[in-house]
Structures are given as C-alpha cells and as structure tokens.
Amino acid sequence: MTVELQDMRPLKLWRWALCGGFALVAAGNLPGQMTYDSVVSLAEGRSGHRLAWGPPTYSWILGLFDKVLPGTGLYLVVSMLLLFTAWASLPRLRPALSWFGPAALLLVLATPQVVLYQGIVWKDVFFANVAVAGFVAIAGAAARWDVPWAKWAPLAFAALCLALGSLVRQNGSITWVFSALALAWTARGGGWKRIVGWGAAGFMGPLLVAIVLSLVNPIRQAPGDSTIDQGLHFLQSYDLLAALAHDPHRPMPTLERINHTALQTMREEARRAYSPTRTDAMDKSPSFEAALGQFDNHAVAAEWEHLIVSDPAAYARQRLEIFDWVFLTPKIDSCVPIEVGIDGPPDIAKQLDIDIGVRPQDAHIYNYATWFLDTPVFSHAFFAALAVLVAGFLLVRRQRADGVIAALIVAALAFAASFYVISLACDYRYLYFLDMAAITGVLYVAIDPSLPRRGSRRG
C-alpha cells in the first residue's frame, strides 16, 4: 500500500509536536530520574558484576551506553527515540492524516506517561518503548507487504525489539505470541502454509535473537540460584504468606513436617507481615522472615504447589486481591505513581559519581504529575477500556496495519493479565506498557478514523 497524504499541514504539525515534545521531555529529565533499581543496574552495567537479581540484560544495556557517554543520558535519549520514532511513523500506515491526529498527539504529550515516565530509567519504560516500536515496525512491514524486500528490515528490527523486551521484563515474551498472530494475520491472503510459516517466524524470530543476546551478554549470574529461580521463590513465599494471613490455621503439611515451630511463628506473624499492596510489609515482622528462612526453596515450592492444588478457589481469591491493587490501584498514592530525582545506595552512587537528591526541575515535574492523580490519566482500568474499544474498531475495519496495531493492544492486555499470577507489588510502572499500547492505538485511530466503504477492505 502506497501512502500519499493529501494535506501536508496536519503532518507538519504532527512532526513539530513530536520534535517539541521530545525536546521538552529530554530537557526536563536528562540525565534521567533514577530509583534504587536504576542505580544498581547502572553499577552492574559499568562493573560487569551482579549486585541484585533483576534482569541482567537491562544492566548490560545501561552499561553499553555508559561506555560511550558515562551516566544514563545517552541511554535515555535512545529509549525515548524508540517511542517517538514509532509514533512519527504512524502516519505512514494510513492514506490520510486528519486534524484529529495532531490534536490527540498534543494531548498525549502532556500526560505524565510521557512528561515524567519517559524520563525515568526503568526497565518497565524501556520494555514499553521497545514493544511499541517492535509492533509499529511490523505494521510498517504489513503496510508494504506486497513490495519485494520492503518488509525484511522492519521485521528484523521488530525481532530485535521484542527480544530485548523479553530479556528486560521476565513476562515480556508474551508479546511473541501476538507478533506471531500479527504476521499470520498479515499473510492470511497467501494460503494456510504462508499463514503458518509467517506465524512461526513471528514467534521464532524474537526467540532466536533473545537466545543469541543471552549468550553474548557479558554480565553473568553470580553463583547460586538464577534470576528466575529467585523471583519464583519470592513469589511462592509471598503466596504462602497471603494464604496464612487470610487463614492462619490453613494446613501446610510440608512445612509442618520440616519445622513445626517455625511454621507456628509464621502463622502468628502472617497478618502483620502481609499486605496486598507490596511485599515490603514483611519488613514489619523480622520474626516471620526468620521463620521462613528455616525452609529451603524446595520445601517452599512443594507447599506452594499444595496450596494451589488443595484449595484453588482460595488461591484464586488471594491472587485476585493482589491483582486488584496493581490493575485498579484503588489508593494510587500507595502504588508509587510518581518518582523523581535520584535515589539509591549512597556508596554505589558515589562510585558512579552521581548525586543523590531532587533537582528544582524534578520538583516541577513532580508537582505537574500530581495534577493527574485520582484522574483517569493514572488509571490502568481506563487505558484497558480504551484499548478494548480501539482493538474492536480496528478488527472491524480490518485494513492492512490494523490487525498489527490490534495485536499490540491485545498483547498489552495479556501482559497486564499475567500480573494476576506474578504480581508482588502495585507499583504503577508495572502496567505502563498497557497505557502506552492504548495510547499508541488511540493515536493510530485518530490519524485516520474513517471506516472503509463496503467491499473496500484490504488485507
């Protein structure tokens, strides 16, 4: 499909808005807002040694940019460029650009999801950016599917983006399923063999790139449990804590058999140590943590499996309570919606030569972001509703790139749903991808909200 925009004025406004927005966000946030996780990841990237159990690929990425320009400034610029370039290419996917497009873009650029979050050095933000960029690249390939060789470069770029996304967010590989569906959708006019072949390529491409990147990553796991094993053990421990907090007398035969006294302490302390908002509440009860430490990973895993099998309804209820906090954020202030400045271990910050604290410009951004608290702008449920509406519209229209953007949106919904099982805290950033996918879908529809005439659908 060759795109020829009839009126260049909306396109010029679109481009100028993106350039201005990029400049303002970069100027307000560079070299980047950093939390404890950010500082530790940068230290890992610079030293090549593991200090925590976060994804090592994110540390590697920070380290690569740090070698070119010390700090996180260059990384932040590139991360932002991934998103802004993807948005810049959206008009190329449609035959016309209405004035609704630039109007929607100006509103989006004023949200804290852009003004603040694009300036924070978080793997969650990077994951959202590479995922959006990856699917928009696939959409670009779909828009020119009939042009020989035009699709190979964007598809290779998409595979790289989605591979990186899976390596910085443990559940990011969910996007591979939907990149497979997007390519199968795009190739559906060529018969079932092409559908299956392109669908397999949509999944296997990111998988193979992820394997290669994992093999060449110089930041290796320290001796002991892997990152995935540590995360799974923490999740299992949290679920056992939740179960005891809801029912202190719940049978736990494996732990009972190994150490009755330690389990009794856990029963007595569970309600004090548990919160559905985050695992940090365990710090309120050192006795619970000490008692839990009496059991090895195998014992905790066995008891966790027993919990699910013996009373799946109770497990589902306690997981739903935790998921409600991360998805609905009923008390937004408890879910860390705003982070500015630089915070982290003072000794590591000193080694990195970065200053802990909040700059005047950070305070201004913080005050601006607070205007949106308790509004739909800070509501994942609102963005999920938008996502469903946009995906529904695109699946009705069914033109070229529509299926790919719909796949992006459904991937974000599936990614958000995965937190029903894995959520450990309600931090707003965890579902940032959902917000950005919905926003990208809205921008895409606003560019050209027209429905085709009967019989004119193309795919």
pTM of the model: 0.94
**Confidence tier at 454 by pLDDT (50, 70, 90):** low
Instruction: Quote the CA–CA distance of 449 and 279 in Å, as a whole number.
Output: 44
pLDDT for position 224: 52
Question: What DSSP line would sit under 184-245, residue for residue?
Answer: HHHTGGG-HHHHHHHHHHHHHHHHHHHHHHHHH-S-PPPSSS-HHHHHHHHHHHHHHHHHHH
Please report, rounded to a whole number, the percentage of residues in the chain having pLDDT higher than 90. Answer: 87
All structural domains of the chain with their residue ranges: 8-220+355-447, 227-325
pLDDT for position 54: 84
Please, what's the largest Cα pairwise distance for the chain?
Answer: 76
Does residue 155 contact residue 138 with C-beta atoms inside 8 Å? Answer: yes
In a 13 Å sphere around the CA of 446, the CA atoms on its Cβ side amount to: 21
pLDDT in tens, 277-328: 999 888 889 999 999 999 999 999 999 999 999 999 999 999 999 999 999 9
pLDDT in tens, 408-425: 999 999 999 999 999 999
b/e sequence 58-83, b meaning 16+ C-beta within 10 Å: bbbbbbebbeeeebbbbbbbebbebb
* Residues contacting residue 341 through CB under 8 Å, at least 6 positions apart: 33, 34, 356, 357, 358, 359, 362
Instruction: Quote the CA–CA distance of 441 and 383 in Å, as a whole number.
Output: 10
Instruction: Quote the CA–CA distance of 88 and 130 in Å, as a whole number.
Output: 15
Residue written as token pair 């910050």? 349
pLDDT for position 170: 86
- Compute φ and ψ for 151, nearest 5 degrees: -90, -15
